[in-house]
Amino acid sequence: MNRVLHDFPGGLKLPTGKELSDRLPSLLHPLPERLYLPLHQHVGHPAMPCVRVGDKVRKGQLIAGAREYVSVPVHASTSGRILTIGDYPVPHPAEFKAPCIVIEADGLDEWHDIEPSPDYAATDPADLQRVIHHCGIVGLGGAGFPTHVKLGEGFENAVELLIINGVECEPYITCDDRLIQEKADYIIAGARMIAHAVQARQCVIAIEDDMPEARQALVTALDGDDIELVAVPTRYPAGGEKQLIRTLTGRDVPVGGLPIDIGIVIQNVATAAAVYRAVTRGEPLISRYVTITGAIENPRNLQVLLGTPVRDCVEKCGHRSFSESRIILGGPMMGMQVNHPYIPIVKTTNCVLIQQRESLPPELPCIKCGRCSEVCPAGLMPQRLYHAALRDDFGQAVDRHLFECIECGLCAYVCPSRIPLVRYFRYAKTQINNKERQLQTAQDLRERFLAKQQRDRQDARSSPSAPEAAQDDKRAYLKEAISRSRSRRERIRHQHDPDEKPGDD
């Protein structure tokens, strides 16, 4: 049965550049001398270290645990010694430093004791979710949302459809395509495990129609009719969560809502492969496929240990001059430009794109041409959002559905005035989120103050008032003093008249 596909608003067919890195098999990146593992590689709360400087660890060993529900643990990517725990550069456009655990590799790459799970089909879905959580798995498509949280939300609701997303729509990035070609059986098995974890009624693996080798690999590996394989038209951003759901089902995720609100759970193909490794082998998430591409000598997909410096990966592909290069983590549309190559590969790093440094054309005033609205896949009016952000009118930006923007970059791509629209939208989102956090902090403090007042009132009602208690203490003190004085007088009298009875006056 052929699934009927639907269209989504906007979008654009872009030059892909994928042929640079997708023609050759992936390479296993050599073991680096040091690995820098940030404690925060995902959406939610950072992990907390459970090792000390000088400790010896083995590959796959837990080194930082999740203390909150929306968080995942971090594991050692290789065996070695904990060299230090401190602040180091992490993937962030503002050269941000954050807590990292640094491992000095011993070169042995010895595994920690890990255990596979029993037959997943006979395992309780909640137990399967716990395995996925303990192995530190997050969404590997770039968002980094903890997988167990998504699966937990799915299990608590009726899941009609599980979508395994292999629609790698952003230019230059081919790590998912190469993964499918090389590990199609992992993806299919992982998809079945995820489907069991959320009790999904249907499962679809979606890829783009310009991925013929990946499609053939999946067709060859599929050994049942429980999974449907669908090729969707190549158009950016067809791999966006809401856009892919619209394409496959014709349904729209409600404004401000989540896919689970319409009975859908969506996971990346690399996440499915990581789930397979976690369940069948007990392997935590310690490596991933990364596309190294752009203006370099030998573009390639590498299998990289998490914590490996970006510089090591790029040099492996023949590029050693960074002074004239722009380093982008991700693709050219949604990627993050960073200023130096010493930051580590983390769970959400799917691509390192090297471009030549060029002076950007000046930003000109908006001419209200409307091209940005034509290509917006979320059906927004970017020019109005831009003017709201420019005036710091964040209320109007929210009213115009700022948070429905997926930051795909198409509006800036087509803008004839070269306005970096996404930067303005990110600025507005950051300001709004900061203000909400401040309001929440103030509300929390107010609630704590009111709760303390309430406790004080209850304590006052259940015990004597302060003045009364003080008066009682004074009476007791005077009574005790009088008693001591009387006893002293009686002793003196008894010494002068031993036959006199105590108390006789």
pLDDT band of residue 499 (cuts 50, 70, 90) is very low
Question: What percentage of the chain has pLDDT greater than the value 90?
Answer: 75
* CA distances from residue 25 to 22, 44, 181, 438 in whole angstroms, order as listed: 8, 34, 9, 49
Q: Please state at what angle helix 382-390 crosses helix 421-462, rounded to 10 degrees.
A: 60
Residue 150 lies in a domain: yes
3-state secondary structure 213-238: HHHHHHHHHCCCCCCEEEEECCCECC
For position 135, what pLDDT does the model report?
97
Residue 371 has what pLDDT? 97
Q: 90-94, 149-153, 353-357: which range is least confident on average?
A: 90-94
> What is the average pLDDT score of the chain?
91
Question: What does the pLDDT average to over 242-259?
Answer: 95
Q: pLDDT grade, residue 268 (50/70/90)?
A: very high
Does some domain include residue 96? no
The strands making up 325-329's β-sheet, listed across from edge to edge, are 27-28, 300-305, 287-294, 351-356, 325-329, 336-338
Closest CA to 207 of 195, 216, 194, 196: 216
Q: Report if residue 162 sits inside a domain.
A: yes
Say whether pLDDT at 79 is over 70: yes
Tell me, what's the pLDDT at 500?
43
User: What distance in Å separates the CA atoms of residue 53 and residue 82, rounded to the nearest whole number?
Assistant: 5
Is the pLDDT at 134 greater than 80? The verdict is yes
Q: What is the pLDDT of residue 445?
A: 87
Residue 67 lies in a domain: no
Q: What pTM did the predictor assign? A: 0.86
pLDDT at 503: 42
Which pLDDT belongs to residue 488? Answer: 66
- CA distance between the termini of the chain: 117
Instruction: Please check whether residue 361 is in contact with residue 300, taking contact to mean a CB–CB distance below 8 angstroms.
Output: no
Range of the domain at 196: 126-283
How far does Cα 327 stand from its chain's mean position? 22
Work out how many domains the chain is built from and give that number: 1
Q: pLDDT at position 489, please?
A: 64
Asked whether residue 56 is domain-assigned, the answer is: no
- Asked if residue 232 is part of any domain, the answer here is yes
Q: How confident is the model at residue 504 (pLDDT cuts 50, 70, 90)?
A: very low
Say if residue 502's pLDDT is above 50.
no
The predicted structure's pLDDT at residue 103: 98
Kindly tell me the number of DSSP H helices and DSSP E strands found in the chain: 13, 17
- DSSP percent split of the chain into helix, strand, coil, nearest 5: 40, 20, 45
pLDDT digits (tens, 9 = 90+) for 220-232: 999 888 999 999 9
- Please state the rounded mean pLDDT for residues 302-324: 93
Q: 186: pLDDT confidence band, cut at 50, 70 and 90? A: very high
- Domain CATH code at residue 236: 3.40.50.11540
Q: Residue 343 CB: number of other CB atoms within 10 A?
A: 25
- Give domain status of residue 230, yes or no: yes
Residue 496: what pLDDT? 47
- Secondary structure letter of residue 262 according to DSSP: G
Q: Is residue 272 part of a domain?
A: yes
Is the model's pLDDT at 498 over the cut of 60? no
